[in-house]
Amino acid sequence: MHQIDSKIRPRLIQGDKSITDVSNDICRPIENKATAAWKLGFGISLLFLALLGGTLFWTTWTGIGVWHLNNTVMWGWDITNFVFWVGIGHAGTLISAILLLFRQKWRMSINRSAEAMTIFAVMCAAVFPLFHMGRIWVGMYWVLPLPNAFGSLWVNFNSPLLWDVFAITTYFTVSLLFWYLGMIPDIATVRDRAKTKSRKFWYGFFSMGWNGSARSWHRYEIVSLILAGISTPLVLSVHTIVSMDFATSVVPGWHTTIFPPYFVAGAIFSGFGMVLTLLVIARKVMNYEDYITIGHLEAMAKVVMLTGTLVGIAYLTEFFIAAYSGVVYEQYAFINRATGPYWWAYATMMSCNLLAPQVFWFKWCRTTPWFLFMMSIIVNIGMWFERFVIIVTSLHREYLPSRWAMYVPSWVEVGIFLGTMGLFFTCFFLFAKFLPVINMSEVKSILKSRE
Amino acid sequence: MSLKVLYAIYEEGDDLLHAVETVRGKGMDVVDCYTPYPVHGLDNVMGIKRSRLPIAAFCFAMLGLASAISLQYFTMGYDWPMIIGGKPYSGLPSWIPVCFELSILFTAYGMGITFFIKSRMLHGMEADIKDIRQTDNRLVMAIDVSDTDDTSGLESLLKETKATEIKKPYQETVEAVKTETPKVPVEKVKAAPVKKAAPKTKAKSSSVASKKSSEITEEEKGEKINLLLGKIGKASGSVNDDLKLVKGIGPVFERNLNSIGIRSFEQISKMDSETIKLVEEITRYFPGKIERENWIEQALELMKK
Amino acid sequence: MTENKKYWKGEEDLVRDPSFIHSAKNEFSEGLPLEEVLSEDDFELSSNRRDFLKMFGFSVTAVALAACNKAPVRKAIPYLVKPNDVTPGVPNYYSSTCGYTGMPIEVKVREGRPIKVDGNGRCATFGGALSVAGQAGIFDLYDNERIKKPLRKGVDSDWATVDKEITTLLTKISAANGRIALVSNSIHSPSTLAVIEDLKTKYPTVEHINYDPISYHGLIEGNNLSFGKSVIPSYHFDKAKVIVSFGADFLGDWLTAEKFTKDYTSKRMPGDDMSQHIHFESNMSLTGSNADIRYPMQNKNQGMLLISLYNEIAKVTGSKQMAVAGQADVAGQGVSKTAKALIAAKGNSLVVCGSNNPQYQVIVNAINMALGNYASTININNPVNLYTGNDETFNSFVTDLTAGKIDGVLFYGANPVYSHPNGAQIKKALKSNVKLSVSSSISLDETSNSCQFVTPDHHYLESWCDYQPVGSTFTLGQPTISPVFDTRQMQESLLTWAGAIDAYSENTMKDNGIYGQEHSVSPFYNYIKSKWSVTDKEFNTYLHDGFVIKDTPTISVPGMIANTDEIASEIEKSKSAADGIEITLIEKTGMLGGVLSNNPLVQELPDPISKVTWHNYIALSKMNAVRLGINDNDVVNITVGETKMVLPAIVQPGQANGTASIHLGFGRTVAGKVAKGRGENAYALIQAGAKFNSYVVNGAKVEKTSTGETYELARTQTHHHIEGRDIVRETTLEDYKKDNRAGNRYEKPELVSLWYDHDYRKAGAPNHLWGMAIDMNKCTGCAACIVSCSIENNVPVVGEVEVRRRREMHWLRIDRYFTFNNVKDVNYKEELDAVSKMVPENFEPKKLTREKALEAIDRKLAKDENAGYEHFENVSVVHQPMMCQHCGSAPCETVCPVLATTHSTEGLNQMTYNRCIGTKYCGNNCPYKVRRFNWFRYNDNSAFDFHFSNDLGKMVINPDVTVRTRGVMEKCSFCVQRIQSAKLTAKRENRSLEDGDVKTACQKACPADAIVFGDLHDKESEVTKLFHNERGFAVLEELNVKPSVRYMTKVRNI
């Protein structure tokens, strides 16, 4: 084996792996019995999933009133969490798609789990717009453009919420396709290594008869490239459209044209934060340190810093524009964010999103896994608060002071949020157990860094 | 169509690439290659025509766009116009997001489905496997040898290109070959007559390797066994441990191990990653199994008893 | 041959057995056992295979059919014989009279159910005004906690038993010469008074005592002392150029406030004719909030203020001064300015006083006398009869009762056990001292609960009655529904006990030739008719109209007989020197001092000033609150002498320093679930004096509870500062006279649309374009519109917890903002000057900037500790009704994903409830925040049992308006059902819709006529004119949402 080690940068995959090693390493969790740690983690996740089920049932059975929204603040934790999860869901496809387009090979060890994260995060996100509806039993299909027999009217294509319906479903299904397509060769590997009958059957079923033919690979690569090509604007469009829920409204603090780019940057920021959270743990627990190297973590830290700073600049721009506009309502909305009753949320957002990522100017911070993990949690918290600040602090003091009100979530709202965490991790644990977490075929192709 | 095909198995993508180049340079037709990972440049050297999937993608995008526009125009402007926020019935700017999303959706799924159809892929489909390791750690090249019965020249050529194994010609029905005409003139790249007698079975494992190639492997095997036993030591004649006690070793595997001279727990316990690789290469079984099932420790335990 | 041959089937045939012949006629010898199968008794009986299949087939079909029908099975019984005057789906309107307020009303009846009450606009005496209580009273009719049967010792009984026992006891007591008291709320019904006379004839020891929970004894006695006439005169606010009120909340709850509102606002149009209103008070009342000039006053200074005002006036008019010292105490409190204004409007002014102290009223009378107002604005010859209670009489009754000198008590509506400070003693006496105690009320209260017999009264919408609310005006009450329960109106009970009922039964009347009506079943109807002694035709005309106005007594100036000097010196002597906080007990809007406290509409109605619902509280001035360390919602201990009370506190801007106020009507112990245990009974604080009950309590100690406990009051508005926003525009009369656009001449932004208007909005389009104009100068904030809207549109009552969560459902709310009056007087004069220099006041385009600067000073002042927070007592108030603005470019419509809210071609922003999926996006995107979400199912839900959860309560539901399910958004619809109905009427009458044909519920209810609704495409309509008025502005116009509601700039006559 002739390896050419670049003098400038370390090899992407460490540990002098052979192709066989890659297969062995990555198929190990699938082929071995579940570990105790996995069982424990999965069990806890299932508990939280049960909490989700319980709280959602309670909400639907009794009414949205069990949340503490009011006639002034009609969106609170629900939409905050929605945007939070959708934001997280952005890194996956982004890592895969944009980095594929830019031929960034370091993506290969992380894109699979990042894409999985996307899928699961979008599933979690979808819980909120569905269940925040007063009448979910009709709302679930009334938002689709179905003929009149299903309702009295068609849908409203002027509404950003309807754009959301299209954007989120498109994003989810296309991401799912992208993820699944990328996994087919690996599923085929598992199939061909399989010993048990059921594994042979199921992996055989999902591998769709993949045999690694050069012709298939040729088409496969073209499909991947085009999918990446369309996914990139898709990713950008989805959070753009989510931001339009706010940007196209008349609410001071929502009504800003800066939202689309700022939301996209925020989404990448939070998405990478979440990827970091997951991978720092996963590489340790699953012994993937050779595949997900410090180099990977460092690259992600750099992205986090860049996007964090972008988001921070957006915050400051908002302030400037509000001051410059001369509109009293806008001005007040921003003063209220920083100094009103929810100042602590604003302070948390600012320090977590703008200030904290600046530590990544230092190499130690970028290359120390435990520190990165801590920072990723901070980023997640900060981005949650960003959405909370935008939604609640804008709504609670709007145009007419007579309707100003406060909003504190109820236990049901908190429970639903924790429950979606359960959903997310349940899915992720299942994924880690039953599917190859790292894209084997791609990693195999870069074992010998030929670049 | 039915072809007589010879399979050459490689361990490295680069070797395969060179081999394809070499083989095609000799005017032979490479029917297909099967690789566990995308070998870059393989499609070029194989002369695979560039797929027209991008054109399909564009068509699907246009279809999506057209459906979005017509859906929105039909519902908002024609079928049931409503006054919404004082806006015009057909407000194009607010249609942009849906147009965009539907275009993407149609492209992705249209192209995905086209890809599956073109690649003959479907859920639950039986995979057409030439060598069980082709999705794992071996690369397989399929060469059309329909026109000749004597493949010895080709085989030695392949050996030069670092082919680790060669599987004798099989009658095979393969996907219609569409390759660009190679620069080198080839007369033989023609479909073989169908009437040719079909051989016995489909190649599924190395046990049915051709005589010549098996001789080669036999030699290599001998070398490797020597190397292996040199490292882990030979079992003294009297020792004949019941290797079946090791979890993961069955009667067949025991026989296999015995045949290469491994008869004691001690030998197993002395294995390291290098020797394990050797064992795996010799036996061609269960890559990763020894490490996964932790034979070494098991053997150490059994030795104590 | 064969034909002749006869074959027999068997022996039976041969012998021609009759049963065989019978069965042979039927092909199937056995009938279908359908009935047997259907009768459940023994099913197995005789069904065979064929029957089984038949039944099976039937049941499958039946189940299939039943499954097709999703709707639950409801019983609907059609009219067998349709009454002539009832057409299903078409409402009937009947004239009647509100039993609570004595106002003539118009009752809307749908299929036999009264569902809405409005003022009877044809009656000139009251002009169709109806207060909150009048509107809300209809809910009491459908209260399923009403007493359903006569009670004897707390147990269900029947009328025969109860009547027999009561009559026996009455006879016994009367024979033994024992005293019998009939205690009633003030009765102004001539026939009822006649009935009482009949009772007295039968039982000579009966004495009738009128009792009012909120007493007007001071006013009556004051007139007695002044002129020898124990009456409440009629006040004419429509004739007064200058109005001065000393604590009289004449726009809120004082006397016929609804009528006063109508008169008052008729003189509030800016111009030369606009009246000036000067108000002295301690608490911030609704009336005070509307005053042009408001002087915070401690009630203990009230007497001295009145005397000095008199003296100031006397100085000019040359009359004799009242010689009192201590006038200096009240100097500088606006007296001289007030006197000047009054004198300028001499003969056209009006001074009123809300105090229950007769001596104060005498001084007020003297002032009015000196100003010559008895010739113009006060008519003492046309008295108001609504309140005739006499504190002295009642207090002596209580003394006698406690002393055991009274043997029998009949309560008629009155609830003194709750509303009298000595209620506990009355209760004890009722239990032990009397031989007979009877109470007649519609629902169980503290008094009836203490009586032996409870004879449930009809609700006034079930009763016949006549009334004489004002000397000149008689009104008639007719039932609009059959009695819901086994109740009987008190007049008939009294007639029964007096043994006179038979004389008025149908048969007797027929015999005497008096009876002429076809369907009358009520003896009291016959009684009234016999007393009125008019022809059937005349009487029917009266009934149809609902009122008769006799000749109004002409105004004449009465002669003053009181020795004012003596009274003045007495006032000075009695001046309270008590330390501590002075508490004023005030009425909660619409609660009538506790009569309507079980009414959920009234409970949920926010107080016009504090915006608190469902609870009472102590309102403190900011200065006192800061000194006592009390914040909003802190629970405080209140100690007055021996009486202690625990209530949450609020800091009320406008509350005079050193004073506090508490609402009456809460703290009911025996009442329905709505009122029971809610708040504290502040009547307990009244010091029951021998001469009059004073609603001002001196020397109260207020302190925070040691535990630092809080009680979060449910308020519908929690931020009271307008933050310098251009939401309400106002100016002064002076400026307005110079320039009609004053205060409304802001630089308007260039409003640019990205798209063109739809055709329906363009002038000359054939459709209607509905619009509403609200005159901020007329709107007093009385909240009658809120109640009217809620009843008309089936708006659910959601309860205290939900209001606390800011989830009240009122489609119409009244925003109220405070601003400081005397910024200039406090430490910011220099800053203010700087602002004025920087931006000249008359430089209109920059005025907004100037106002903003003033607001900044305001905000600073609000937090300035050095200023001592004393300025918080001197604030001015604006009330702004806010409902759906029906924006032409509505932000809510754009964002609804399912088109549940869209625009009609008549400019209405419509809500399609059954299309709504409840994303709540529209609510967020509404700049006016007028959309309401159904967080829960508010009907048929035991957690929200405020009338919409039981069959009786549901009878008040307006069938023209959908009852909303949970999960949908709702909001003001401009009463689209009324628009449609008016259009249909016009179509039926083959004419085009005229201006005024459509009156929204809020407009109809508004006693101030502040709301005008109409077609903007009709150039002649009133609303179009108002839209082009110089004072017209739209709230948040700069958003270019094109609202269909315009407000008229408020003009203050300062």
pLDDT for res C58: 64
Query: Number of B:C CB contacts under 8 A?
Result: 38
3-state SS, chain B, equals CEEEEEEEEECCHHHHHHHHHHHHHCCCEEEEEECCCCCCCHHHHHCECCCCHHHHHHHHHHHHHHHHHHHHHHHHHHHCCCEECCECCCCHHHHHHHHHHHHHHHHHHHHHHHHHHHCCCCCCCCCCCCCHHHHCCCEEEEEECCCCCCCHHHHHHHHHCCCCEEEEEEEEECCCCCECCCCCCCCCCCCCCCCCCCCCCCCCCHHHCCHHHHHHHHHHHHHHHHHHHHHHCCCCCCCCCCHHHCCCCCHHHHHHHHHCCCCCHHHHHCCCHHHHHHHHHHHCCCCCHHHHCCHHHHHHHHHHC
Nearest Cα of chain B lies from the Cα of A244 at a distance, in angstroms, of 10
Which chains touch B (3+ CB pairs under 8 A)?
A, C
Q: Is the pLDDT of residue C844 over 50?
A: no
Task: Compare C76 and C285 and report the one with higher pLDDT.
Answer: C285
pTM for this predicted structure: 0.83
Structure confidence at residue C974 as a pLDDT band (50, 70, 90): very high
Q: Please report, rounded to a whole number, the percentage of residues in chain C having pLDDT higher than 70.
A: 85
Query: What tokens appear for A337 in the block?
Result: 């964010």
Instruction: Pick the range with the lowest mean pLDDT from A252-256, B223-227, C87-91.
Output: B223-227
Q: Is the pLDDT of residue A242 over 50?
A: yes
Q: Is the pLDDT of residue C850 over 60?
A: no
Q: Please report, rounded to a whole number, the percentage of residues in chain A having pLDDT higher than 90.
A: 23
pLDDT single digits (tens) B248-271: 777 777 777 777 778 778 777 777
Nearest Cα of chain C lies from the Cα of A398 at a distance, in angstroms, of 7
Cβ–Cβ gap C896/A156 under 8 Å? yes
Contacts of A319 (CB under 8 A, 6+ apart): A334
**Which residue shows structure tokens 């699979």?**
A112
Relative to beta strand B29-34, strand B139-144 is: antiparallel
DSSP code at position A12: S
C-alpha C854 chain-centroid distance: 37
Structure confidence at residue A451 as a pLDDT band (50, 70, 90): very low
Nearest Cα of chain A lies from the Cα of C772 at a distance, in angstroms, of 20
- Asked if residue C976 lies in contact with residue A144, where contact means CB atoms within 8 angstroms, the answer is no
Nearest Cα of chain B lies from the Cα of C894 at a distance, in angstroms, of 5
- The beta-carbon neighbor of A145 closest among B71, B120, B130 is B71
What residues in C contact A72, CB-CB < 8 Å?
806, 929
Q: Where are the domains of chain A?
A: 19-445
Burial class for B273, CB neighbours closer than 10 Å (0-12, 13-18, 19+): exposed
pLDDT for res B193: 41
Residue of C nearest to B80 (CA): C899
CA–CA separation, B90 and B73 (whole Å): 7
- Asked if residue A59 lies in contact with residue A416, where contact means CB atoms within 8 angstroms, the answer is yes
- The beta-carbon neighbor of A161 closest among C724, C921, C1041 is C921
Structure confidence at residue B100 as a pLDDT band (50, 70, 90): very high
pLDDT single digits (tens) C772-814: 999 999 999 989 999 999 999 999 999 899 999 999 999 999 9
pLDDT for res B205: 40
- The beta-carbon neighbor of C902 closest among B84, B88, B91 is B84
Structure confidence at residue B213 as a pLDDT band (50, 70, 90): very low
Cβ–Cβ gap A135/C805 under 8 Å? no
pLDDT single digits (tens) A386-403: 999 999 999 999 899 899
| Region C404-409 average pLDDT | 87
Cβ–Cβ gap A139/C932 under 8 Å? no
What mean pLDDT value characterizes chain C?
Answer: 83
Residue C806 contacts A where some CB pair is shorter than 8 Å: yes
pLDDT for res C22: 57
ipTM higher than 0.95? no
Q: Is the pLDDT of residue C52 over 90?
A: no
Q: Is the pLDDT of residue A274 over 90?
A: no
Q: Is the pLDDT of residue C68 over 60?
A: no
Q: Is the pLDDT of residue B187 over 60?
A: no
Structure confidence at residue C861 as a pLDDT band (50, 70, 90): low
C-alpha A432 chain-centroid distance: 17
Nearest Cα of chain B lies from the Cα of C920 at a distance, in angstroms, of 16
pLDDT for res C528: 86
Residue B97 contacts C where some CB pair is shorter than 8 Å: no
Tell me the C-alpha to C-alpha distance, in Å, between residue C511 and each of C429, C515, C534, C574.
46, 8, 18, 64
Residue of A nearest to C931 (CA): A71
Q: Where are the domains of chain B?
A: 1-185+203-208, 213-304
What residues in B contact C904, CB-CB < 8 Å?
83
Query: What tokens appear for C891 in the block?
Result: 């932000």
pLDDT single digits (tens) C708-739: 889 999 999 988 888 778 888 888 888 888 88
pLDDT single digits (tens) C895-929: 998 888 999 999 899 998 888 899 999 999 999 99
CA–CA separation, A393 and A407 (whole Å): 9
pLDDT for res B1: 52
pLDDT for res A48: 94
Q: Please report, rounded to a whole number, the percentage of residues in chain B having pLDDT higher than 70.
A: 78
Instruction: Pick the range with the lowest mean pLDDT from A399-413, B282-296, C163-177, C240-254.
Output: B282-296
| Region C565-589 average pLDDT | 83
CA–CA separation, B47 and A214 (whole Å): 11
Residue among A128, A145, A148, A125 at smallest CA distance from A136: A128
Residue B87 contacts C where some CB pair is shorter than 8 Å: yes
Provide the CATH topology of domain A19-445: Formate dehydrogenase/DMSO reductase fold (1.20.1630)
**Domains (range + CATH), chain C:** 11-68 (no CATH), 158-215+389-457+479-545 (3.40.50.740), 217-384 (3.40.228.10), 575-715 (2.40.40.20)
pLDDT single digits (tens) A96-124: 777 777 777 777 777 888 888 889 999 99
Contacts of A140 (CB under 8 A, 6+ apart): A130
pLDDT for res A57: 93
pLDDT for res C16: 59
Residue of B nearest to C1042 (CA): B86
Residue C335 contacts A where some CB pair is shorter than 8 Å: no
Cβ–Cβ gap A400/C929 under 8 Å? yes
Q: What is C308-322 written as a DSSP string?
A: HHHHHHHHHHT-PPP
- The beta-carbon neighbor of B86 closest among C899, C904, C1042 is C1042
| Region C488-504 average pLDDT | 85
